[in-house]
Structure 1
Amino acid sequence: MNVGWIGLGKLGAPCALALQHLAGHDVLGYDVRRQDVERLFADPSDHGEEGFGALIELGPLKLAHTIGEVVAHADVVFVAVQTPHAPAYGGETPMPEERRDFEYGYLIQAVRDVCRAAADQAKPITLVVVSTVLPGTCNKHLRGLLNPFVTLVYSPLFIAMGSTLKDFREPEFVLMGADSPESLAPVAAVYAALHDRPVFRASIETAELIKVAYNTFISMKIVWANTMMEICHKTGADCDQLVNALTLATDRVISPAYMRGGMGDGGACHPRDMIAMSWLAERLNLSYDLLGQMAYAREAQSGWLADLTERWAEQTGFDIAILGKAYKPGTALTAGSPALLLAHQLAERGHDVVLWDAPVDSRMDLTEPAVFVVGTKHPANTSLKFPPGTVVLDPFGYMPDQPGVTVIRVGRKS
Structure 2
Amino acid sequence: MTSMTDSIPDHVPADLVFPFDYRGDAQIRESLWDYLASMGDRPAMFFSPDLGGYWVVTTAALAEEVFSNHEIFSVRSVSVPKLESPVKLIPNNYDPPEHAPYRRMFTQNLFSPRALSSLEDVTRRDARALLNAMTPGRCEFVGEFAERLPIDVFLAGMGVDPAHREQFLPWVRNVFSGATKEEFGRGMAEASTFLAEWLKKQMEAPETNGGGMFQAMIASRIDGRALTWDEMHRITVMLFLGGLDTVTSEMSHVMYFLAGSPAHRQRLIDRPADIPKAVEEMLRRFSIANIGRIVVKDTDFHGVRLKAGDPVLIATPIVGLDESAFENATTVDFDRGRARGVRHLAFGAGPHLCPGAYLARTQLRVMLEELLPRMPGLRLQPGAKIEWRAGADFMVRELPLEWDAVGSA
Higher relative CO (CA 8 A, sep ≥ 6), structure 1 or 2? Answer: 2
Q: Report the TM-score when normalising by structure 2.
A: 0.28
Larger Rg: 1
Structure with the higher helix share, 1 or 2: 2
